[in-house]
Structure 1
Amino acid sequence: MEKSLITVGLLLLIGAGVYLNQNGEELGELQKVRQFNDWKIQYNKKFSSEKEEMYRYLVFQQNAQLIEAHNNDKSGKYTYTMETNQFADLTEQEFAQKYLTFRPKSTNKSKSTDYVPNGQARDWVEEGKVPPIKDQGSSCGSSWAFSAVGVLEINSNIEFGLETTLSEQDMLDCSGPYGNQGCSGGWMDSGFEYVRDHGIANGSVYPYVGSDQTCRTSVKRDFKYVTGFVDVDGCNGLQTAIQDQALSIGVDASNWAYYKGGIFNNCKQNLTSGSILVGVDQNGVWKVRHQWGSKWGENGYIRLAPGNTCGVCLSASYPVLEKK
């Protein structure tokens, strides 16, 4: 391993230069370095030391091999493609620690996963009701807050024509009494309860910083339209509810890291992240808005195969809104 690190370090110093062997073919290891350097530029990656960069290079190459093998698979098992995106220098464990800290609550719902697509399609993105993709960053397990706040923003536009940007940081910092734990995880329904009782601030007056802060109790909270929330039972309930509003959902995002596009079909149902359901097509394919930036997936979105793929049907809910 030490010899490999030294070799990689030398290659990194070479950078994007081109060496040719006697046959005029680019050296294999240099090709990998060029790929890594191009990726660093694309995602503005900087590392604290040469040692850290060498380690990230090795992790990147392992992930790149996995991604290449997936994309070259001709078995027909997969209906989506992968790419070396912003997560390509993280190990599986590091990715889980940074992004998969969701804390789903146990419920008494029947959680029916029976699913017969009814042929009705809805896409709130195409209808212009969904704001730009956000990015939760890598230092805070805030997927639950982005899910809850995102649904409030989308459904306010659907129901009232109100275009607003609300504060995930407000929910992170101030909904602890409702059972949430800030950047250590939380639950969307508890976030809705907080907004029902206190309202929520605009994102411009309580901006997102991606870390736990002391609750700013004096901030003005003008958004006071939540009167409750509804838990949706199962896949058939989900395809009915999406016709009228977007929904907060819990999903198993363990295998989502390198998703590029297509219909995702490779996951279990251990809920690890909060997300937002924003549509369904006539074949029952779900459209999900996530919070890993617009460079991830299909411009920030992922499509899930019909049925309870990634546990999409297990914990859906939406806030009840009333304009006072």
Structure 2
Amino acid sequence: MAVDHTHLFIMQLLLLITHLYFVASNPYINETAHKLKYILSCRHTRCVPRLGMNVDSLAEKTLKAMRNTDRLSEYLSVFNVSDCDGEASADYVRRHVLDGLLTTDDVPETHWNEYKSIYNKKYVSQTHEEAALSVWKNNLRKVAEHNQLYLSGKRSYTLHLNMFGDWPIMSYVEDLLKLIWTIPLYDPARDPHRTAYKRNLHQKIPREMDWRDRGYKPRLEEQYHCGACYAFAITHALQAQVYKHHGDWRELSPQQIVDCSLPDGNQGCNGGSLEAALRYASRAGLIRESYYPYRGKRGHCHYRSAEVSARPRRWATLPAGDERAIERALATIGPMAVAVNAEPFTFQLYRSGIYDDPFCVPWKMNHAMLLVGYTPEYWVLLNWWGRHWGEGGYMRIRRGHNVCGVANMATYVEL
């Protein structure tokens, strides 16, 4: 008796939809669901010949409805619709490592090798690699558990195994989070009256805005193992003002601050403060990064004053915790350097979404970022950890609760 493949496929498809409904409401996504979604997400012009059946528009409509659901679209995004042979190719694993929403720790052994290849991981000995693999597997489990909660609607952001996926939390904190307190020295450029902010108090501001929409899209940079976040935050805040007033990029040198601001209280790759970095920049000025490139370690201070490209005329820090003030200053003055608490492992492994970890307390300032946008729900921040961290190098932090202390030390710069 001939088999009606179309009828059979529609029956299987309806079973799949029923199964996926329960998958969407259950945080414990298993590998069977993973494979079913993979089959369902294939483009039928490529897959049908292999499956030996004609597929009507029901499959397309089902997929469209699923992709309109944010959390399921996150899950489906890892699949390449042109690959339908079911094989875990290097391309497939690469998408999982870089872009995929991991929801299970039961991954192929090739996942670790692909991870090492993508992030160019090298270990000094087999013992060191085994220790890194142990950390990676532990992080894999935590990422999968967290993302299951995301799919069930219990979390508003996702995690992944980025370049810090094999870093112990203590190494991450000690190597990267170097925003420190420095002795406050007199700086004539500091504006205690917040003149620029007060000048705009009665100006109408938009409900939401993003400086990237206005053309401010700086090159994504990586601080590596050097605790230079304070230098990146100040150089980017200043070059944002250069862009706002003159329309050119004029990428400025964080390495200059790392090498030259020791007399102001900073400690090179061992950390520094926004205030000390601004004091140095307002006194000496900053040259372009093309003349003084970033090296990821402290070096000898060398530059010529004739090469100075930008110098802060004034700067001010907004009242701690005042998110309304930050909103107004961001809209009217420009991107601002901010201090945050980046210590939770969820910050370390952040992938996407609106970050609101309750353990990201506002009283531990240890990292500096650049605030570039806002909506009524969240802030948008630029980081210095490359494009594979967060949302292409950016992060969204929930507004209204001073999550991670984002409103504690917002600092703007004037040319």
TM class, shorter-chain normalised? Answer: 0.7 to 0.9
- Contact 2:284–2:311 under 8 Å retained in 1: no
Match in the other structure for 2:392: 299
The 2-side partners of 1:124 and 1:212 are apart by: 31
Q: 2 CA distance for matches of 1:52 and 1:260? A: 26
Separation of aligned partners in 2, 1:265 and 1:77? 12
Paired amino acid for 2:325: G
Percent sequence identity is 29
Structure 1's 303 and 105: CA in aligned 2 closer, same or farther, altered over 3 A? farther
Pick the structure with greater CA Rg: 2
Question: 1:71 maps to what in 2?
Answer: 147
Higher RCO structure (Cα 8 Å, ≥6 apart):
1
Structure 1 counterpart of 2:414: 320
| 1:98 CA drift (Å) | 1.2
3-state secondary structure, aligned to 2:224: coil
TM-score by length of 1: 0.82
Indicate the residue corresponding to 1:112 in structure 2. Answer: none
Aligned to 1:210: 296
Task: Write out aligned runs for 1:91-130 (5 A).
Answer: 91-104=168-181, 120-130=207-217
The two structures, once aligned, show a CA RMSD in angstroms of 2.2
Q: Secondary structure at the match of 2:316?
A: strand
- Match of 1:226, SS state, is coil
Map 1:1-324; keep pairs closer than 5 Å: 31-73=107-149, 76-104=153-181, 120-138=207-225, 140-218=226-304, 220-233=306-319, 234-244=322-332, 245-255=334-344, 256-266=347-357, 267-269=360-362, 270-281=364-375, 283-307=376-400, 308-321=402-415
What is the CA-CA distance between 1:214 and the residue it aligns to? 1.9
Number of residue pairs matched by the alignment: 284
Question: Structure 2 length normalisation: TM-score?
Answer: 0.65
Q: Any gaps of 5 or more consecutive residues in structure 1?
A: 1-15, 17-27, 110-117
Q: 1:302 to 1:35 in 2, by over 3 A?
A: same
State the AA in 2 paired with 1:131. Answer: P
Letter in 2 for 1:294: R
CA distance in 2, matches of 1:98, 1:37: 25
Q: Which runs of 5+ in 2 are unaligned?
A: 1-89, 91-103, 185-191, 193-204
Name the CA distance, whole Å, in 2 between partners of 1:249 and 1:31: 38
Residues 218 and 265 of structure 1: is their aligned pair in 2 closer, same or farther, counting only changes over 3 Å? Answer: same
Contact 1:104–1:250 (8 Å) recurs in 2: no
CA distance, structure 2, for counterparts of residue 242 and residue 211 of structure 1: 31
Q: CA 1:38–1:219 in 2, change beyond 3 Å: closer, same or farther?
A: farther
What does residue 202 of structure 2 align with?
none
Give the match's secondary structure for 2:338: strand
